């Protein structure tokens, strides 16, 4: 007991398509449908009060300093967050979301 803290690499089951996503410390979203789960993983900013744990839908694609990121929105509480795309992500799905969001014309979710 008490032998130091292991890095959390949590597996989770995608609540949208049922895929078991193996946590690798980087990806926190489903590579198939790009849905995520609302957990508090963004240090700084306004800290979330508690973990919500609900499904987060990909609502858009944005570009960050590090590259392409997916904008996720929680279906429960409406919180938005950006998560970097991973090499495992389905690129067609990424493009589909990018297309969908650009067609909608919403530009108010760009986070620097």
Residues that bind Zn ion (CB under 5 A): 14, 16-17, 19, 30, 32-33, 35, 38, 52, 54, 74, 76-77
Nearer to Zn ion, 7 or 81 (CB): 81
| Residue owning tokens 């108010």 | 108
Q: What minimum distance in Å lies between the beta carbon of 59 and Zn ion?
A: 13
Taking the C-alpha atoms of residue 107 and residue 41, their distance in angstroms, rounded to an integer, is 24
Q: Give the nearer residue to Zn ion in terms of CB position, either 74 or 97.
A: 74
Residue 5 has a CB neighbour count (10 Å cut-off) of 6
Alpha-carbon span 12 to 30, nearest angstrom: 9
Which residue's CB is nearer to Zn ion, number 55 or number 69? 55
């Amino acid at each position: 007991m008490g032998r130091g803290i292991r890095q959390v690499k949590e597996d989770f089951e995608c609540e949208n398509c049922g895929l078991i996503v193996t946590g690798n410390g980087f990806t926190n979203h489903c590579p198939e449908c790009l849905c995520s789960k609302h957990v508090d993983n963004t240090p700084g900013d306004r800290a979330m009060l508690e973990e919500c744990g609900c499904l987060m839908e990909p609502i858009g694609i944005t570009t960050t300093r590090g590259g392409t990121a997916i904008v996720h929105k929680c279906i429960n509480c409406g919180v938005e967050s950006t998560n970097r795309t991973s090499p495992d992500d389905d690129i067609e799905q990424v493009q589909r979301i990018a297309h969908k969001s650009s067609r909608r014309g919403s530009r108010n979710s760009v986070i620097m």
